[in-house]
Chain A
Amino acid sequence: MESERDIMGPNPMSYLFAAYAAVWIILAAYLFSIHARKKKLRREIERLKRRLDPGT
């Protein structure tokens, strides 16, 4: 009878690790991109508010 190691190749755990790492990397990159875009917009809002109302 073939063992799991024979079927899956030398190290099936490395595939499991790679899959879960990919999930977290994709999610972290997306959250970072939202955060960076929001930060840029906030700066833009502050700049425009100052331009519209220089007294504040």
Chain B
Amino acid sequence: MNPEARRRLDTVLGALLAAAMLLALYMALLQAPRERTMGDLQRIFYFHVPAGITGLIAFAVNFFASLAYLIKKDRKWDGLALAAAEIGVVFLAIVLVTGPIWAKPVWLVWWTWSPRLTSALVLWLLYVAYLLVRNYVADPDRKAVAAAVFGVVAFVDAPIVWFSIRWWRDIHPSPMLESGALAPEMRPALWVCIGAFMLLFVYLMRRRVSLETARRDVEELHSRADLGQ
């Protein structure tokens, strides 16, 4: 794709994302009915859950891109894996911040070491470590291999986070859509918010991958400049 077409696509995607986010805010804060027990506080759920789902998808993208890099040794897969890991860390940070803000007035504590909360925190720390590990290996190819192996191993925790509330007794609410605990009138708001977060993920991935492409260009120019001396 030529740079002009890419710029145009970014503009369209940015406009779509802005519209989707405004709609998500409207649905979450105004359209969705007020929950009987928690009142307006329950509305945190409309951004908390989509951020969690999108974060797990980002880590899945990191997992498959890491595998692809280990098989094909093409640096573009490493760039994709890095972008996905970084965005996953951002989304999970949203989950780990909004969760305790909801929990304090409902559970009367900011945090508790329940299986879901603990496994989610461990997952976040694993991918923060993934990002840090990359800074300690200077050679780009060795760095990419180390990161890919780390990414594949770290992903083991993602299914544990997803299934923790299904496998173990947990203070964390059960999966609302599967259990039917979410009122039908609340579902459109949740789906719109999930859609908006998916779009946000695609938008951020494009921005972050283009940053990695620029970084590879810099590396290439550096090596050409060094050879020319």
Contacts and interface: CB of A to CB of B under 8 A. Distances in A.
A44 B43 CA distance: 44
Interface of B: 29, 37-41, 43-44, 47-48, 51, 87, 90, 93-94, 97-98, 101-102, 104-106, 200, 204, 207-208, 210-211, 214-215, 217-218, 221-222, 224-225, 228
A20 B43 CA distance: 9
23 contacts: A4-B37, A8-B38, A15-B41, A15-B44, A15-B104, A16-B41, A18-B101, A19-B44, A19-B48, A19-B98, A19-B102, A26-B90, A30-B87, A30-B90, A31-B204, A31-B207, A45-B221, A48-B218, A48-B222, A51-B225, A52-B224, A52-B225, A52-B228
Interface residues of A, number: 28
Contacts of B204: 30-31, 34
Contacts of A27: 90, 94, 200
Contacts of A12: 38-41, 105
Contact of A41 (B97, B215, B228): B215
A1 to B, nearest CB: 11
B37 to A, nearest CB: 7
Interface of A: 4, 7-9, 12-13, 15-16, 18-20, 22-23, 26-27, 30-31, 34, 37-38, 41-42, 44-45, 48-49, 51-52
Nearest to A10: B105
Contacts of B29: 20
A13 B44 CA distance: 10
Contacts of B40: 12-13, 16
A23 B51 contact: yes
A23 B98 contact: yes
Contacts of A19: 44, 47-48, 97-98, 101-102
Given A49-B221, A52-B221, A8 B211 contact: no
A8 B44 CA distance: 14
A27 to B, nearest CB: 7
A9 B41 CA distance: 11
